[in-house]
């Protein structure tokens, strides 16, 4: 999932961006959507660094570590549930097998939560520049005119 944001500050290959409701948010009547303005840090690839300046509109994408964390959160408990359920063997009663499965599920959830708290998320990254500052400002910087945002 990507998101559009405006660059607020640039420090090397790290930027501070601000995102919030878009122009089309007024047409949405969904009770599930509650857009708010938020400011957060993102990283920039070296190839985009020249165009990422304060005021530019950029598209932000996930860091990629979300998939690993999601797999940990869902696969680990389910795997331990199945292992717990099948662990006692065919001679155990259904109640014992179900109880062992739920113990495995609880252990998997505890492990996933503990690892999730320690796991450091990588910052989201700038995927592309949607609207450079010169396009939004409709003037081209010259030697006598400082670039917008400086």
Query: 106 or 134: which carries more pLDDT confidence?
Result: 106
**CB 27, CB 76: distance < 8 Å:** no
Domains of the chain, CATH where assigned: 3-62+122-137 (2.40.50.140), 66-118 (no CATH)
How many CB atoms within 10 Å of residue 117?
A: 7
Tens digits of per-residue pLDDT, 80-117? Answer: 999 999 988 777 889 999 999 999 999 999 988 888 78
Counting residues of the chain whose pLDDT is more than 90, the rounded percentage is: 15
Which token pair is 32? Answer: 């599930």
Query: 117 or 27: which carries more pLDDT confidence?
Result: 117
Tens digits of per-residue pLDDT, 43-56? Answer: 887 777 777 888 88
Query: 142 or 91: which carries more pLDDT confidence?
Result: 91
Phi first, then psi: give them for residue 116, nearest 5 degrees: -60, -35
Cα 119 from Cα 141, distance rounded (Å): 44
């Amino acid at each position: 999932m990507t998101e559009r944001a405006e660059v607020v500050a640039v420090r090397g290959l790290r930027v501070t961006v601000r995102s919030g409701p878009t122009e089309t948010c007024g047409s949405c009547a969904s009770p599930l959507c509650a857009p708010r303005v938020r400011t957060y840090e993102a990283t920039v690839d070296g190839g985009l660094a020249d165009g990422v300046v304060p005021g530019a509109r950029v598209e932000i994408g996930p860091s990629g570590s979300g998939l690993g964390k999601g797999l940990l959160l869902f696969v680990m408990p389910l795997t331990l549930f199945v292992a717990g359920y099948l662990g006692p063997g065919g001679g155990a009663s259904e109640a014992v097998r179900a109880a062992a499965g739920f113990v495995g599920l609880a252990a998997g959830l505890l492990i996933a939560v503990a690892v999730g708290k320690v796991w450091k998320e990588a910052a989201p990254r700038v995927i592309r520049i949607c609207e450079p500052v010169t396009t939004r400002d409709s003037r081209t910087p010259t030697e006598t005119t400082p670039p917008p945002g400086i």
